[in-house]
Chains A and B, each alone.
Chain A
Amino acid sequence: MKISLEWISDFVDLSGIDVAKIANELTLRTAEVEGVETVHRNLRGVLVGKILTAEPFAADKDGEPKTYHRCTVVCGQNGDGTPRTYQTVCGAPNARVGLIAPFAPAGVVLAGDKKIEKSTVAGYPSDGMLCSAAEIGLGYWHEMLFEMPESTIVGTPLETLIPEEDTLIEVDNKSVTHRPDLWGHYGFAREFAALLNRPLRPYPVEDLDQFNHLPAFPLTVDAPEDCPCYGCLAFEMPRTVIPSPIKMQYRLHTLGQRTFNLLVDMTNYVSLELGQPSHAFDGDYVKAIRVTPMGKNGSFTTLDGQERKMLPDDLLIWNQNEPVAIAGIMGGLHSEVTVNTDKLLLEVANFKASRIRRTGGRLDLRTDASQRFEKSQPPVNVKVGTARLLRLVVEAGAQPTVTSRFTYVGDLKEDYRPLSMSRDLLHRLAGQAIPDDTVLDILHSLGFLAEFDATGILQVGIPSHRSQKDISIPEDIVEEVLRMYGYANIPPVMPKVPLEPLYTEKALRFEHRIRRLLTQGHRFIEVQTYGWMDDAFLAKIGYEPKATLELANPSNQNFRRMRTSLIPNLLPLVKQNKVHREAFRLFEIGHVYYPRETEFRGEGPLQLSQERRVEVGCFSGISYQQGNQPSLEEHFRQIRGAIEDIGSFVNNGVRAKSEVGGAEQSTAPWENPGEFIIFTRNGEEVARAGILPGKMLETVIGEGSGQVVWFEMRAKLDSYLEYPEFKYQPLPVYPQSWQDYSICWSMSDGFTALSDKLAAFTHPLLRKSEFVTVYKGKGLELGTASYTFRYWIGTDHTMSEAEIDGFRTDYLAFLKREGLTLRG
């Protein structure tokens, strides 16, 4: 939003200010200034001209037929008293006899360094140019001539009517969402006055009480909650469609608004000045106002000619039984003021922000009016706005005759609202004392009433322009005082607090440990993916997740399902990255989500005991390797090693069990029966890991050979012990020895089955046994491998040869009993 300092000067004396300094002050104390710009207008030599004759003719412009006017323009008098006239050709549609507009004679330089020269246009001589707003540097609108009021003295140099320069301060809209008063220049003028310690001039309005003797306008409000206050005033004017005063027009243009005529322009003007939207209805057409919801499904055509779908709750303004406007958003097609009327009805109303936001949002119709209503305008502006509009009509010389009293329904909330707070609260929240006089000066400068009573209570009167939503509690007053006092004037003080024990979330601590283990111990690269899955990719890999949470408003329909596993988000990264590296390991730590909606519904304050988890932390990874060296089995064992490492620090001695998953356990296409394993701990599943089945390789890897190993863990980490509980085992006093045995075993039965079988062996000398290695190939039957185990033996004395041989005999006997054979 841009603020014109020239406009602000109507209300505060800005003479001699340092603009950069004041912009900085505004940022620090009021609202964020995003930029300061000086606008220059091209007025030198431009005169007020009046069209004496206008003969239309047609000519081609860029290959299109277009109507031009050959005009005679008068601009004051020559030295000898004769009218000074010029010939020109004008293409603007509003060129007509009697129109008063800026005229740039030959020699003048207009906006964009456009020098006007004598020329011939379409065969007619041209001594200069009739100007639009854009051409004299006032803004963007260039289609129409800048129409001036009839009272403008022809021949007047334009630079005496329009200031040659203005400074615009651009304020970040976000920083004033809570300040409805700052959506208008007068609100900013109040801040300037307070910052500069200069007086604020009263807002220029007509006295509406003078019309109290007139009849009320028929007005009914059926929806007091959505429309807390509605005001209107009826009046007549000899002519309703007339150009606005020059000042009104150049200000609107400078702030990017187009001008039309007085009745349209003045509502835009008051909107920019006070922040209060308003609307002028055709008084011949609108006989009685009713503010009531649509009541049913229907449609309404707005003044832009669009037919809009209406819901029963949408609030409309009705002329008796016919809708004429969508409240606070846009007027209708049929009630616009036309040249045929001399009767007008001015609407200045207050609508509930949420109502406007809901309807406007649904219709995708954000107007200047709705934007301001959404900030909760104070109801007092219903009256102030009406009085200001009437003053503008009078000042424009439009000679209005008011025909109704100012009629309103609702509470204007004109009075100061009382609020009291202790001096102590202010000092406590500031962290330091602030002198009473300073506090009172600040509040007074912002339009508040304020005084301290004998007991140290600050009695505040909140002015009507701030009392709607903006200021309601003592802390709001603290903010007003401190922002003007200056946060820079509050020295930092570290808090002094008692020592208290601190607990960190166990799950988070585990999360970081796992992160460190995978990255620092196993060379994984941590990545992040989106919280949803890509349906297009799921279709490619043939994955149809059982039940997912779905977004109602996804950014793309393919991204509507929330992820139930991280694997389908990680897999596409293989193809993306295999051109960069021949092998890599990726992992992600993130949430996955499940639909158990019935347990999570419910409004109202959170009850912790009712909370159920729809999401759990998930640790997943994939490992890619180009080609087949090392082998897929070796590759898988490397990744399994990482998972077992995690297990060794989260399990606290409870060993995870693992088994090969079959068809009945498979839940996703990457879980190929026989090619993935399931880890369980105390009977509960904690992780899965597997090799990507051949049928998915082409989709995931694309051209060329390669391997992909995946894993996913969903342990409930907060149920685990955070720190391991080691138990010291006495070191053996006498030397131990070991014996290695290589046992032949079918690979399809697997290591675990063999290991379980061997666990049945007991012996008084046995201290420990461990797996050493596996061998496949030469000398072994296909499908058979040799698994080597090491047995540590020892006792409470130095072992004899006989004891050592005895162990071997016993072990070989055990193997024989179990039907196991040693490798030849």
Chain B
Amino acid sequence: MDTIRQQFVADLAAADGNAKAVEDLRVKYFGRKGTITQLAKNTDFSKFSSEERKSFGIRLNELKTFAEEAIRSAQESAKAASAAKPKAKIDLTLPGADHRLGSMHPISLVQIELEEIFQGMGFRVLTGYEIETEFNNFTGLNIPEDHPAREMQDTYWLKNGMLLRTHTSPNQVRAMRKFGAPVRAIFPGRCFRNEATDACHETTFYQCEGLMVDRNISVANLIAVMRELLCEVFRREVTVRLRPGFFPFVEPGFELDVQCLICGGKGCPTCKQSGWLELMPCGLIHPRVLEMSGIDSKEFSGFAFGVGLTRLAMMKYGIPDIRLLLGGDIRFFEQFAATV
């Protein structure tokens, strides 16, 4: 009898409130050939002593009561459940139709974000030309012909003597000439360098340079603005450090490193165990560049900086290979829904 009770409990659990399953259960135990019905019918009470008979009868009644009660309760709740769920004509849980947003290029996403951050700090956003004169790309930025900086940049030259800009820096001069001092602006755009392509190098990449010229602009200001920018971009407190770096259009010049965002400075493969990621070249604008741009370097000073938009996009979105960005595979591009 205990076995029957245990089996019943297991069957009840398996029925899981399903009306049909509960009915099957009832038939299995209380139908004409039901287990409990048969038990009562087929037991030969004559073999029992009166004590035994009495005890058997009590236990059988208990089992019957328990099972009947359980079945009734299960039937009721199954009924209630089916009453609450009318036959649906509309499935409201289907995904939205036409819900696919298109996607923006990851560089566009980062560029729009940077533009908004800088506009919030009162910077103009200016674009320029991808084809530049040698003067604008080099000479006007204090990069004379015999300067080592020219060897660092492998330039695409056009047959007409112009070149594909190797950085967005020509816009610094253009902005200072156009607006005079004080001025603050950023210049996002496409740049080109004639180098072999691999997972980290592309002939075509994006930068966003910027500058701020005003009275009394200092290294302390540069650090503060850059830190603010990076906190916004990475949406958390970041620790930055400056170290000497050489760029002919700034003096002093720096490399700005940010404490590794992956390991927090402890050292990991991303930061090559150094705890720091090299992020932005920057510096105080070279007085000769100010003068060439028609700004009195005695009265004004300024800082300039460059962010690799391509690099930033790769860091932010975890893109391991730069070649994906111009690779044309829509399975890559689709991952960047146009949500800005």
Name A residues whose Cβ lies closer than 8 Å to a Cβ of B: 27-32, 174-175, 177-179, 352-355, 357, 361, 374-376, 428-432, 473, 475-476, 478-479, 482-483, 487-488, 490-495, 497-500, 502-505, 507-508, 512, 515-516, 518-520, 522-531, 549-555, 562, 572-573, 576-577, 580-581, 584-586, 590-591, 593, 595, 597, 600-606, 608, 613-615
Chain A residues with CB below 8 A from B227, complex form: 492
Chain B residues with CB below 8 A from A497, complex form: 122, 182, 184, 214
Inter-subunit contact B194/A555 (CB<8 Å): yes
CB within 8 Å for A531 and B164 given contacts A31-B244, A357-B151, A492-B227 = yes
Chain B residues with CB below 8 A from A353, complex form: 146-148
Inter-subunit contact B330/A577 (CB<8 Å): yes
CB within 8 Å for A487 and B162 given contacts A354-B145, A475-B287, A591-B190 = no
Contact with B160, one of A28, A502, A601 (Cβ below 8 angstroms): A601
CB within 8 Å for A177 and B156 given contacts A508-B125, A580-B330 = no
Inter-subunit contact A581/B251 (CB<8 Å): no
Q: Which of A374, A429, A602 has the most CB of B within 10 A?
A: A429
Inter-subunit contact A530/B241 (CB<8 Å): no
Chain B residues with CB below 8 A from A614, complex form: 129, 131, 162
Top 10 nearest A-B pairs (CB, nearest first) are A431-B220, A354-B146, A431-B218, A479-B252, A519-B338, A519-B102, A492-B224, A597-B160, A487-B242, A177-B148
Cβ distance B315 to chain A, nearest Cβ, rounded Å: 18
Q: Which residues of B, 306-335, contact A by the 8 Å Cβ criterion?
A: 325-326, 328-331, 333-334
Inter-subunit contact B124/A504 (CB<8 Å): yes
Contact with B243, one of A29, A507, A603 (Cβ below 8 angstroms): A29
Cα–Cα, bound, A614→B221 (Å): 38
Inter-subunit contact A554/B328 (CB<8 Å): no
B211-248: CB near A (< 8 Å → 1, else 0) gives 01010111111011101100000000000011111100
Q: 26 A–B contact pairs at CB < 8 A?
A: A31-B244, A32-B243, A175-B246, A177-B149, A354-B145, A375-B148, A376-B146, A428-B218, A432-B218, A475-B286, A487-B243, A488-B241, A494-B224, A502-B122, A515-B338, A519-B104, A525-B334, A528-B326, A550-B158, A551-B156, A551-B157, A551-B159, A562-B158, A597-B160, A603-B133, A606-B133
Chain A residues with CB below 8 A from B127, complex form: 505, 507-508
Tell me if B119 counts as interface (CB < 8 A to partner A).
Answer: yes
Chain B residues with CB below 8 A from A179, complex form: 246
Tell me if B108 counts as interface (CB < 8 A to partner A).
Answer: yes
Number of chain B interface residues as a range: 35 or more
B180-208: CB near A (< 8 Å → 1, else 0) gives 00101000001010100100000110000
- Of B42-50, B69-77, B87-95, B171-179, which binds chain A? B171-179
Inter-subunit contact B158/A551 (CB<8 Å): yes
Chain B residues with CB below 8 A from A523, complex form: 100-102
Cα–Cα, bound, A526→B178 (Å): 32
Chain B residues with CB below 8 A from A590, complex form: 190
Cβ distance A475 to chain B, nearest Cβ, rounded Å: 4
Tell me if B161 counts as interface (CB < 8 A to partner A).
Answer: yes
Contact with A492, one of B119, B223, B255, B338 (Cβ below 8 angstroms): B223
Inter-subunit contact A606/B221 (CB<8 Å): no
Cβ distance A274 to chain B, nearest Cβ, rounded Å: 19
Cα–Cα, bound, A31→B220 (Å): 21
Given A473-B251, A479-B244, 18 extra CB contacts under 8 A = A27-B243, A28-B241, A175-B244, A177-B152, A428-B218, A429-B218, A478-B252, A479-B252, A495-B214, A502-B123, A520-B102, A549-B160, A562-B158, A580-B330, A597-B162, A600-B131, A600-B162, A606-B136
Total A-B Cβ pairs within 8 A? 261
Chain B residues with CB below 8 A from A492, complex form: 220-221, 223-224, 227
Cα–Cα, bound, A584→B329 (Å): 12
Tell me if B66 counts as interface (CB < 8 A to partner A).
Answer: no
CB within 8 Å for A580 and B221 given contacts A353-B146, A531-B130, A591-B130 = no
Tell me if B271 counts as interface (CB < 8 A to partner A).
Answer: no
Inter-subunit contact A428/B301 (CB<8 Å): yes
Chain A residues with CB below 8 A from B288, complex form: 473
Inter-subunit contact B192/A531 (CB<8 Å): yes
Cβ distance A422 to chain B, nearest Cβ, rounded Å: 10
Inter-subunit contact B244/A495 (CB<8 Å): no
Chain A residues with CB below 8 A from B119, complex form: 502, 504
Chain A residues with CB below 8 A from B156, complex form: 551, 553-554
Chain B residues with CB below 8 A from A354, complex form: 145-146
Contact with B126, one of A488, A505, A551 (Cβ below 8 angstroms): A505
Chain B residues with CB below 8 A from A597, complex form: 160-162
Tell me if B39 counts as interface (CB < 8 A to partner A).
Answer: no
Chain B residues with CB below 8 A from A613, complex form: 129
What residue of chain A has the Cβ atom nearest to residue B253's Cβ? A479
Cβ distance B203 to chain A, nearest Cβ, rounded Å: 6
Q: Which of A487, A512, A518 has the most CB of B within 10 A?
A: A487
Tell me if B29 counts as interface (CB < 8 A to partner A).
Answer: no
Tell me if B11 counts as interface (CB < 8 A to partner A).
Answer: no
Chain A residues with CB below 8 A from B173, complex form: 606
Chain B residues with CB below 8 A from A531, complex form: 130, 164, 190, 192, 204
Chain B residues with CB below 8 A from A494, complex form: 221, 224-225, 228
Chain A residues with CB below 8 A from B177, complex form: 606, 608
Tell me if B15 counts as interface (CB < 8 A to partner A).
Answer: no
Tell me if B107 counts as interface (CB < 8 A to partner A).
Answer: yes
Inter-subunit contact B161/A601 (CB<8 Å): yes
Cα–Cα, bound, A605→B170 (Å): 11
Tell me if B280 counts as interface (CB < 8 A to partner A).
Answer: no
Chain B residues with CB below 8 A from A431, complex form: 218-221
Cα–Cα, bound, A432→B252 (Å): 16
Chain A residues with CB below 8 A from B129, complex form: 591, 613-615
What residue of chain A has the Cβ atom nearest to residue B226's Cβ? A492
Tell me if B140 counts as interface (CB < 8 A to partner A).
Answer: yes
Q: Which of B139, B243, B254, B286 has the most CB of A within 10 A?
A: B243
What residue of chain B has the Cβ atom nearest to residue A33's Cβ? B274
Cα–Cα, bound, A577→B184 (Å): 42
Chain A residues with CB below 8 A from B160, complex form: 549, 595, 597, 600-601
Cα–Cα, bound, A613→B131 (Å): 9
What residue of chain B has the Cβ atom nearest to residue A516's Cβ? B338
Cα–Cα, bound, A375→B149 (Å): 10
What residue of chain A has the Cβ atom nearest to residue B145's Cβ? A354
Inter-subunit contact A487/B219 (CB<8 Å): yes
Inter-subunit contact A550/B159 (CB<8 Å): yes
